[in-house]
Structure 1
Amino acid sequence: MSQLLIATASLLITVFISEFLRKYLNKKEGFWIIIGFNLIFALIGIYIYSVEERKILYLNMLLPLYASLVYKGMAYLFIRWFDRLPEDTTLEFHVKFSDAMFNILYGILAIVVPMALLFWIGEMVE
C-alpha cells in the first residue's frame, strides 16, 4: 500500500511541477532550485528502495527529477527550432501545433514511459 502511495505522490509531484512551476523551470535559478528538491526526493527514494526489500515502486521517486530534466532538454530543442519557449496549452483550444505537440510528447516521455517501464520491470522482478 505504501508503494502505491509513493508512486501516486511521485506522479502528482511531476504533474504539479510541469503545470504550476513551468515558468520557474524556464528560469535558470528556479530550475536549479527545483532540481535540488527533486534530487533530494530521488535520493530518499533510492535509499528506501535499498532498505525496503527492493520494492520497485519506490523508484518512482526518481520521476520528478527525470521529468524536470526531460522538460529542460525538450525546451532547449524547442528554442533551437522555433526561437521561442513553448507555451502551456493546458485547457486551451486555439493553440499552435508545435506547442501542442511539445506538451503531448512531454507528457508521454516524462510520465507515461517511466511509469510503464517501472511497472514492467516490477513484473519481471516478481
Structure 2
Amino acid sequence: MKINTALLLLLIFISLPLHAKPITLKNEKEIHRANQLNLAMDAVSEKVMACINAGNSSKESCTCPNMDSCKFKSEFKKATSLYCSLKSDFPKWINKPIIYSIKGSKITHALSMEALERHYGKYCE
C-alpha cells in the first residue's frame, strides 16, 4: 500500500490542537502573583474535596455555582479576586497557558487562564 505523503501531512496537521502558545514566566514578581492564584485555587479545591469526602452527593452542595450559595466564600472570593487582578494586570495572559517555576524548586507549575476565565471570569468587573 502506497501512502500519499501530502495527505498524511494534512491529516497530521488537522489533528494538531490549535491551542494558544504558553507564556513562560521568568519575572519573580509575576511568578509570585501566579503562584498566589495557584495556592488560592488549591484552597478552594481542598474545600470541594472535603465536601465530597463528607458524603455530599449533589454538585451544587460542593461547588460554588454562584457567590451567594458558596459554602466556602472566603476561599472562593480570594481565588476570584486574585484571578481578576491578574487578568487586569496582565491582559496578555488571558486565554493562554501560564508556565512557571519557583526559584529553587524543580517543580514546574501551570495555570490554564482559559479554564480560569470560564470559571472565575464572570465575577470580574
TM normalised by structure 2 equals 0.30
Larger of the two Rg values belongs to structure: 2
Q: Which has the higher helix share?
A: 1
Q: Which has the higher strand share?
A: 2
TM normalised by structure 1 equals 0.29
